[in-house]
Amino acid sequence: MESIDLHLLATALRWAAEGHRFALVTVVRTWGSAPQPPGAWLVLRDDGLLEGSVSGGCIEEDLRARRRAGQLGDQRPFHLTYGVNQEEAARFGLPCGGTLELVVEPAPALATLEALATRLAQQQLVLRQVDLASGHVTLRTAPSGAQLTWDGHRLTTVHGPQWRLLLIGAGQIARYLSPMAQALGYAITICDPRPEYGPLWDVAGTQLVTTMPDDTLLAMAPDSRCAVVALTHDPKLDDLVLLQALRSPAFYVGALGSRRNSAQRRARLAQHFHFTPAELARLHGPVGLPIGSHTPPEIAVAILAEMTAVRNGIPLPSWGPTPTGASEALPCVSP
């Protein structure tokens, strides 16, 4: 599954090949409540067709109207502001008096967009800088942790996999989880030293390694934009990566297993490896939100939902006691 950036770029380049002109519109600043965060973007074709989103729909309709009226300019980038007062905020569907500022590029250079698409396909993290005064656009490699900046004259956006996900186990859950995570901007590394799993891995856009899990994580030098999920259900592999991950800056560490097995894992880590309660509290196990997941794709959804909540600082629900009649082994399927 392509990232949003790659999908929008592919759409824009396809339209250009078909002879259409298009504008590129990016959210650069918000105040109060706004439907989309800074960095969200869309491409708007000359006939009003669009891909992507900058709001709940009303602003998109206004952009279409401006396009039909010839009010989006010809070449030079410029900025627009919506929701400067309560009346306008209500008109454009911006709740709680929200305000949204956009940068519009009426005719982005195709060569630069093609270069950006190529670099993103190679899993590179890229800064794209637009100078509104000159219309000049440049691309350069982004440092880790780079963020969007906008000073009213120059816009710098970040594109590519801004997050990393290490999955231990090249099984069914990883096969569903990987493309979902790619769509959310994760660069995926699959670690599985087992000879019966690695050769079968064929998910596009991911990196398969067959080194041991602890060595793999150390080589990645995990930071606060890295997540680690152990999916083999084999302590000889899962525990290896947890020993490193729980003492690393990784923002999310999870491991597949039932509540009983998860409790046994925590006891094992505390007894034999002297993990503190605070360190063990970082472990999400059973991994994923408690949504009643049974199948590999359902478990993948639950894992990614929990990762997203942690990434966004949202409090998580507790698994709580096992419901009457429910299987203690859930979620626990073949890796």
Looking at the structure, tell me whether residues 123 and 57 fall in a common domain: yes
- pLDDT given at position 85: 63
CATH of the domain at 275: 3.40.50.720
Which of 5-14, 24-33, 323-332 ranks highest by mean pLDDT? 5-14
Looking at the structure, tell me whether residues 121 and 240 fall in a common domain: no
What confidence tier does 217 reach under pLDDT thresholds 50, 70, 90? very high
Residue 260 lies in a domain: yes
> Which of 13-17, 49-53, 88-92, 298-302 shows the lowest per-residue confidence on average (mean pLDDT)?
88-92
- pLDDT given at position 83: 76
Looking at the structure, tell me whether residues 90 and 130 fall in a common domain: yes
Query: In the chain, what percentage of residues exceed pLDDT 90?
Result: 67
- pLDDT given at position 329: 40
The last residue of a domain, from among 159, 183, 215: 159
Domain holding 222, by residue range, is: 163-311
pLDDT, tens digit (0-9, with 9 covering 90-100), for 145-197: 789 999 999 999 999 888 999 999 999 999 999 999 998 989 999 999 999 99
Under 8 Å between Cβ of 140 and 36:
no
Kindly report the CA angle at 233 between 232 and 239, in degrees rounded to 5? 90
- Region 217-229: what's the mean pLDDT? 94
Looking at the structure, tell me whether residues 120 and 237 fall in a common domain: no
What confidence tier does 328 reach under pLDDT thresholds 50, 70, 90? very low
The last residue of a domain, from among 143, 159, 175: 159
Looking at the structure, tell me whether residues 118 and 173 fall in a common domain: no
Looking at the structure, tell me whether residues 16 and 155 fall in a common domain: yes
Looking at the structure, tell me whether residues 240 and 125 fall in a common domain: no
pTM of the model: 0.74
Looking at the structure, tell me whether residues 138 and 186 fall in a common domain: no
**Mean of pLDDT over the chain:** 88
For residue 217, which of 241, 253, 190 has the smallest C-alpha distance? 241
Looking at the structure, tell me whether residues 153 and 255 fall in a common domain: no
What is the count of structural domains for the chain?
Answer: 2
Residue 174 lies in a domain: yes
What confidence tier does 90 reach under pLDDT thresholds 50, 70, 90? low
Residue 325 lies in a domain: no
- pLDDT given at position 86: 62
Looking at the structure, tell me whether residues 129 and 222 fall in a common domain: no
Looking at the structure, tell me whether residues 145 and 112 fall in a common domain: yes
Residue 321 lies in a domain: no
- pLDDT given at position 316: 84
Looking at the structure, tell me whether residues 271 and 226 fall in a common domain: yes
